[in-house]
Each structure stands twice: as structure tokens, then as C-alpha cells.
Amino acid sequence: MIGQIALLIILLLPAVAGFVGYLIGKKSERNRDLFNIIITGIEFLIVILLYKEVSNAPVNLFISDIMGTGLHLKLDIFRYIFVWISSFIWFLTTMYSTQYLIKYKNRNRYYAFFMLTLASTIGIFLSENILNLFTFFEIMSFTSYALIIHDEDQYALDAGKIYIGMAIAGGMVLLMGLFLLYEYTGVLNITEIGEKLIQLGNIKYLISFLIIVGFGVKASIVPLHVWVSKVYPAAPTPASAILSGVLLKTGLFGILITTQYLMQGDFMISAVILILGLMNMFIGGLLALFQRNIKRILAYSGMSQAGYILVGIGLMGVLKENKLIAVYGTLYHIINHALFKVLLFMGTGIIYMVLHEVSINQIKGFGKHKQGLKIVFLVGFLAIIGMPGFNGFISKTLLHEALAEAGHRYPNIGLTIAGMIFTISSSFTVAYMLKIFITVFMENDEKYKGQFKEPICKRALLPMVVLSVAVIYIGMRPETVLTIIDQAIKNFGVDGEIEIHFYTFNNIKASLFTIGLGVGIYVIFVRKYLRKKDGNSSFYVNPSLNWFNLERNVYEPSLMAIFTSTSVVFHVIDRGVVNFVHYTSNKVNKFSGMQIKRDSYGQIKDSYVEMNSLKDFLNKLAKNMNSLTYSVFIVATILVVTLVMLTF
């Protein structure tokens, strides 16, 4: 009973606090900031206290007559990992935001939507009913949209358009998949769907495809990643941090649920996810190499790191009953990525708070004499590249071992190439992070020496220190996280515990080889090809701006072609409907003219007034018909595209 109440509290507390905090902020921003920190701290504390009960047995709560099919919440150890990391990151990011947003406008609105986004995110991870999950997923899209457009400049608004457009499109595809899912199975509870779905014929692949596409937008899965490079730089840094550290995981959570719970680890679906994960790793890392804006580098980095998790999810199905190490690696990297990526975004935010610029061409040398900032950023840098002693080394070693296990059990050229892509993509990570760190923290620029210390306070640095300690502690004591994952693996139909000695000669050698390869790419490619000289100064160029672009060369022309072709049809329908209404209205006019009668006092009788009102109504209907038919056009276009997808 206490656990059920706690589930409701962690779901509703942030939502209620969003509205209450907004009212408090009308009178005192300082009190609002303190209130939000306390609320997110309480949220995190409740989640910590829930661990003991959840580790014994899952906590379930069902409330009927909510969302049509009832609200079904469930917290087991698997979901607990996502809830814990979300509440932990939100607590630290809220504290960080109180410093970062000091000079921003509309702070009250920001915090309200920030808390609502937390509530919807927790709702996603707690939902046992997949329709509940979809509802929270869509709420999160709209609340996070308000965070992305917070600056309200043209760039932010344009980024918001592509984000909400992709989110709505993905949501509609997801909803179509859920409609088909319920039509064929009649079940909505996630743990029960798999038994029904796996018995279906090939239609199950269409259903899973639609659901994965819907979740894949948030997971920045190739080729649905086009929003990433625009949205992350546009949003305030705390929002970018939760977008990459937490909201990205909602999409990955959905894909993991689909492949392992709904499709029961189907080999074909898992193989596709594995291939997409490798593409994410490679393409994201390659594009990050060319960027000059740190937030854009980290955006593509997030896409690449999502690829590691997708590879793990794919390997879970490919390895079947031998998927134990893949489960460990996937869940471990979900935790690790959130920690080091939020740390790196916070470090970038510190720079932006001071200089209002994060282009490495403009800020080179800024961090050379900022020892505190340099150290915490270095921790994030070493973690993401998988340096031994830091948390990234642990999860990347697990994922690499899982890939090697697949290659051992299914020896073929495809998995050999997959191993090479894994290594090359990891070396890309080293190269683009060196590009940031050396330019910003190693190169010399005397104009920054001893300057700009005042704008940085402990409220911004403290969360970074906490994250740095967590990164190092997990790296040195990997069993801390393994203990939790030991309990979570039962959700995936496997038993046992792994006994991997991470700091062996071979593991360290493999990590250092990858890092050495990355240093080579940085020296030979980044420094020689992307770095140009202009007299005594140097700058980086980005030739990828002229490359083939999915959004510019595929999506925009395709959508315009669909709009142009279908608008011809709907123009005919539009004119037909309007002409019919006008024709009907004219007939009514004639008919109403014949009904004019006056009483003995010369007043028009009620029958005429009624007919005249009908005429006015029809005239108004004719004027508004264009808006109505264009609305029909939008809905019909989406349906046509969906039908085409279903056909193929």
C-alpha cells in the first residue's frame, strides 16, 4: 500500500509542483527556485526509499476509469533504473538551472514546463498499459517543446517546428501501431502483449515497425535524427542536458520494450536494430567530427551514444538465451551515458553563461586557466571515450564483449564488420572530444586569463562535481551498478550473474588501442584537414554543410510533392463542397423570400426570422468551409501516407 502511494506521489508531485511553483514565482523567484530544488530533491529521495520494496517485488497500481482503459502503473527493478536516473538528473539539473537562467526571460514559464516534463517522463517509465505510455509520451513532447523554444528567437522557433513536427508525426505512426496491436491482440498490458503478439503472422512485423518508428524519433535513430542538430543548440543548456541525458532514453525505453517484451526478442527485428545501432554510432560520430558548435558536437555525440545502446538491444535478440552480457551492457550504458553526457552539457553551459558563445572558433583558450571547469570537463571527456578508471570504460567493455560473443557464436563477415564499426566509432568519440578539449582548455589566449570568474557560482559547479564523483566512483567500483542490474535481468528471461574482471590486460589494451586510434584521427584528419590557418590564428571549417542532407534533399522535397499533388485533389473537393453550400444557400434564399408574412401590426412573422437565420448560418458555413476542408486535407494526407506505409 505504501509503495502504491509512493508511485502516485512521484508521478503527481512534479506536475502539481509545476503549477504551484508558477504561482510562487509570480511573487518571488528566489522562493520558486528553492521550492523546485526541494521538490525534485523529495522526488529523488522517495525513489531511493522505494528501492528496498521494489527489490523484493514489483509495485503495481491500477486505477480504473482513467484514460479510458484505466491507469496501470508498475515499478520493477528494470523500470527503477530509468526512474532513478531521471529523478537524479532532474534534481541536479534543477539546481544548475537556478544559476544558468538568471539572465533569461520567461523563467517562470520555463520551470513550470520543466517540472511537467519530469512528471510525463516518470509516467512513461511507470506505465504498464501501453496506451498510458503513449499518452505520457505525447505529453512529454509538448511540454519539452516549450523548453526548446524558450529563447523565442527565430532559430529556436525553427528548431521547435522541426521538433514538434517530428514528434507529432512519430506519435501518429506510433498510435497507428498501437491501434493495430490492440485490434489483433485485444491486450494493452505490456507484460501480456508478447504472448499474444508472437502468435500472429507477419502482421506482427508491421506492428513492431510502426511502434519502433514512433519511439525511434525520440531515440534519434537513423534516419529520424534530423531534428537533433537543430534542437540541442537551440534549447537552454539545462534543457539540452535532459533532452540528451533522459528524454533520449524514453525512445530507447520504448524500443527496448518493443523488441524484448512485445516481440519476445525476435531475431529479425533484433538484427535490424543492431544494424541501425551501428549506423547511429558511425554516422553520429562522423558528423560530430565536423561540427564547430560544442552543443551541436554533443548533439551528434548523443546520437552516436544512442547507437551503443541500440547495438546492445539488438544483441539481446541476436544472442537469444546467451544474451546475459548484452543485457548488462545495455542497461549499464543507459546509466553511464546519462551521467557523463549531462556533465559535458553542464560544462558547456558554464562557458555559455560567461561568453554567450559555444563555437570553438570563438572561445578557444577560454578554459586554459579555469582549473575547476577544466577538471570536471576532463572527467566527462575521459568517461565518454571509455578511458579505464571511468564509468564509460565499464559499459563499453560489456557491449564490446557482447558483440564479440555474437561473432563467436555466429561467425560471419557481417559481425566482423560490426566489430570494426564499433572500434572506429569509438575512436571518432576520442577525436571529436579532443577537438573540443584541446581547443577550449589547452590552447592559449591571454584575453581570458584571470577573467570571467564572477558569473560562475557554486550552484552551477556543485551538480558537476557530484556527477564527476559518480562517474569516477562507478568506474572504480563497477559492482555498485552491477548489483542493481543483477536483479533487473530477470525481466528479460535470463538468470545468473556475470563475473567479468574489467581491468584485465586485454580489456585495457583494447581500450587504449581505440583511444590511440582516435588520437591518430584527431592529429591526421581533424588538425590537418579541418583546421585552417589565417596568418597567426587558426580556425576550423565544416565541409559537411555542403554534403547530402536528409532534411534538405529528401524530407522537404517529398513533403512538398505530397502537398502539391494531394492539394489538387482537395482543391476540387473544396470547391465542390463550397459550391454545394452556396447552391443550397441560394435555394433557401428563394424559399425564404416566399415565406415573408406580416401580422396585422406590420411585423414579420417568426417563420421568416427562422428562415433568415438559417440563411445566415449557411452563408457563414460557406465562408468557413475553406478552413474546414484544409483541416480535412491535413488529416487525409497523413492517412494517405500511413496507408502507403502499410501497403509496403
Angle in degrees, CA 435, 238, 26, rounded to 5: 155
* pLDDT tens digits, one per residue of 530-573: 888 877 778 888 888 787 767 666 776 777 777 677 777 777 78
* pLDDT tens digits, one per residue of 468-513: 999 999 999 998 888 889 888 888 878 777 777 888 888 899 999 9
Instruction: Name the amino acid, one letter, at 643.
Output: L
User: Residue 430: in which H helix or E strand, if any?
Assistant: helix 413-437
- The residue that leads in pLDDT, 302 or 454, is 302
**What CA–CA distances, in Å, run from 469 to 172, 299, 339?**
41, 24, 10
* pLDDT tens digits, one per residue of 42-86: 999 999 999 999 988 889 988 887 777 888 999 999 999 999 999
Q: What is the pLDDT of residue 643?
A: 45
What are the backbone angles phi and psi of residue 180, rounded to the nearest 5°? -65, -40
Cβ atoms within 10 Å, residue 563: 13
Q: What is the pLDDT of residue 354?
A: 85
Q: What is the pLDDT of residue 608?
A: 45
Q: What is the pLDDT of residue 600?
A: 54
For CA atoms 329, 332, 338, 341, give the dihedral sign: negative
Give 233: exposed, middle or buried? Use CB within 10 Å, 0-12, 13-18, 19+: buried
| Nearest Cα residue to 429 out of 518, 351, 296, 513 | 518
SS3 331: helix
Is pLDDT above 50 for 625?
no
Is pLDDT above 70 for 631?
no
Q: How confident is the model at residue 456 (pLDDT cuts 50, 70, 90)?
A: low
CA atoms of 191 and 194, how far apart (whole Å): 7
pLDDT, mean of residues 365-371 = 83
pLDDT, mean of residues 615-620 = 54
Could you tell me the maximum CA-CA distance found in the chain, to the nearest angstrom?
111
Percent of the chain with pLDDT over 90: 50
Is pLDDT above 70 for 593?
no
Q: How confident is the model at residue 647 (pLDDT cuts 50, 70, 90)?
A: very low
CA atoms of 123 and 137, how far apart (whole Å): 8
Instruction: Name the amino acid, one letter, at 447.
Output: K
CA atoms of 382 and 340, how far apart (whole Å): 9
Residue by residue, DSSP assigns 56-72 as HS-EEEEETTSTTT-EE
Is pLDDT above 90 for 520?
yes
Nearest-10 crossing angle of helices 371-384, 391-409: 10
* pLDDT tens digits, one per residue of 385-407: 999 999 999 999 999 999 999 98
> For the CA atoms of 128, 244, 386, 514, what is the dihedral angle to 10 degrees?
110
CB-facing half-sphere around the CA of 594: CA atoms within 13 A: 5
Is pLDDT above 60 for 632?
no
* pLDDT tens digits, one per residue of 583-592: 776 766 666 5
